Amino acid sequence: MKKSILAALLIAVLSVPVLTTSCNRGSQQGGNIKIWVGTESTAFYQKKAAEFIQKTQGFAYTITVEGVDTGSAADKFLTDTAAGADIFTVAHDNLGKLIAGASAIGPITDQALLRQIQNDNPQAFLDVIKGTVQGTEYTFGIPYISQALVLYYNKAHLSDADVRTWDGIQAKAASLGKQSLTLVGDDGYNNSFLVLASRETDGVRAANLYEDGTLNSANFTSDLAVATMQWGQRFFTNANGGRRPSDSGWEIEMANERTLAIISGAWHNSAASAALGSNLGITILPNFTLTAADVAGTNIPAGTVMRSGTFADTKMFVMKKYNMSDQAQAARAAAVQQVLLYISSKEVQEQSFAECDNLPAYKNASTEFASIRNNLLARTQIEMFSRGIAQPFGVDPQMGGNYYGSGANGVVLDILTNNGNQYGNTAQIRAGLAVIQSLWRTGQRP
């Protein structure tokens, strides 16, 4: 009976949508500063806002924290910028639409905050938080959450040495009569480890994805791209290599030990753990070595070692644009940046990880944060940052549409599997890569 009463009370409490709070220790002289964060982090940042006001003598504003889906926050803000938050969270690839035209968000001008951003973030994040408005480049984003793809594998069958390379995984799979890898999705995010691969010696990538901020800079027809995809085809057409997503699902395949590994992010950690239990291993994505067969028809030498790649992404704070010629608005902009300096600090990022599982964007988190050092998944994601790039689609919304929505990754999969024997030689693979390149640039086949 007591359990039933307790359950009823708990349901009643949880049914009340407590998504906002106002931190009232500050004076209301300056009004209220509104912050949007992901709903999973609302309570934490409510607490941090209260701490900030308590620590900041004479702060002339109250702070309200609201939970908003970060995937839709940019669109919600653009619908009514006047009613939108002073500070809100977006994925970095939303930057292009937020600064289009005259820009709906304001640049960071506080020197202490700019120094913190520069000192605390990996270059991959620094490259995607800036934008050009009317000919001038500004810093708009403050990274504070990150994510990357990793390898989940069955450590009952694969040793630490095996998972350093795809060749090692495939050799063990062949000896066991199993599959090396099952993709968790056909899309250009989950199946990006070869498109984003880079040469071990110098970091040169197989693909150039809009690196100079223009659609025409997308390139996937280099000799390194050809050799990489020839290796990929050899891997995916081998009976013990990689395979596309199965009808039964990767969770069943891993639990039944038909496949030894998957590539995914933190969002699949629970499912992978359920499939493998104590046999779940987590590590960085493996390297692979290009053989003479892989480099045929190219100028790439046999023996070239490649790193599997990933999108290493960040969620970032941005702020509303203020009229800096108005004294009250300028004061508000300064106050907002004081708040941003605090809530994006590495200390608060570490606390956010401990309380909300938000992986920090801070570049030295894996060595400096004890909570990260003791968390294999978090540590591995951070290690992947040096092997990855942030999704480079924030400059122009068409970039993400072309990369994900034009059918380009269907061609990638057709090449890897030699679908219909269309890509059985180097010339045919080159032609297929030219199609992908055109789709990335224009959204159309050549």
Average pLDDT over residues 392-420: 93
pLDDT the model gives residue 23:
55
d(C-alpha 357, C-alpha 38), whole Å: 12
Does residue 15 have a pLDDT over 70? no
DSSP tag of 208: B
Region of 407 (left: φ > 0; alpha: ψ -120 to 50; beta: rest) is: left
Q: How many beta carbons lie within 10 A of that of residue 215, not counting itself?
A: 15
pLDDT in tens, 216-268: 999 999 999 999 999 999 999 999 999 999 888 999 999 999 999 999 998 89
pLDDT band at 19 (very low <50, low <70, confident <90, very high): very low
Distances in whole angstroms, Cα of residue 205 to Cα of each of 388, 390, 442:
10, 14, 21
Distances in whole angstroms, Cα of residue 319 to Cα of each of 31, 35, 48, 141, 373:
16, 9, 18, 8, 32
Does residue 11 have a pLDDT over 90? no
pLDDT the model gives residue 436:
98
3-class DSSP state of 102? coil
What tokens were used for 412? 């990638």
What H or E segment, with its residue span, contains residue 252? helix 250-255
pLDDT above 70 coverage of the chain, percent: 93
Helices 42-55 & 346-356, crossing angle to 10 degrees?
150
d(C-alpha 326, C-alpha 329), whole Å: 5
pLDDT in tens, 42-65: 999 999 999 999 999 999 999 999
d(C-alpha 309, C-alpha 205), whole Å: 9
Distances in whole angstroms, Cα of residue 183 to Cα of each of 82, 149, 401:
44, 12, 22
User: In 143-167, which positions are buried (b, 16+ CB within 10 angstroms) versus exposed (e)?
Assistant: bbbbbbbbbbbbbebbeeebbebbb
pLDDT in tens, 190-221: 999 999 999 999 999 999 999 888 999 999 99
pLDDT in tens, 375-389: 999 999 988 988 999
Does residue 4 have a pLDDT over 50? no
Our CA angle for 344, 348, 350, nearest 5°, is 115
| Amino acid at residue number 73 | A
Q: Average pLDDT, whole number, for the chain?
A: 92
| Predicted structure pTM score | 0.82
Does residue 2 have a pLDDT over 60? no
3-class DSSP state of 215? helix
pLDDT the model gives residue 6:
38
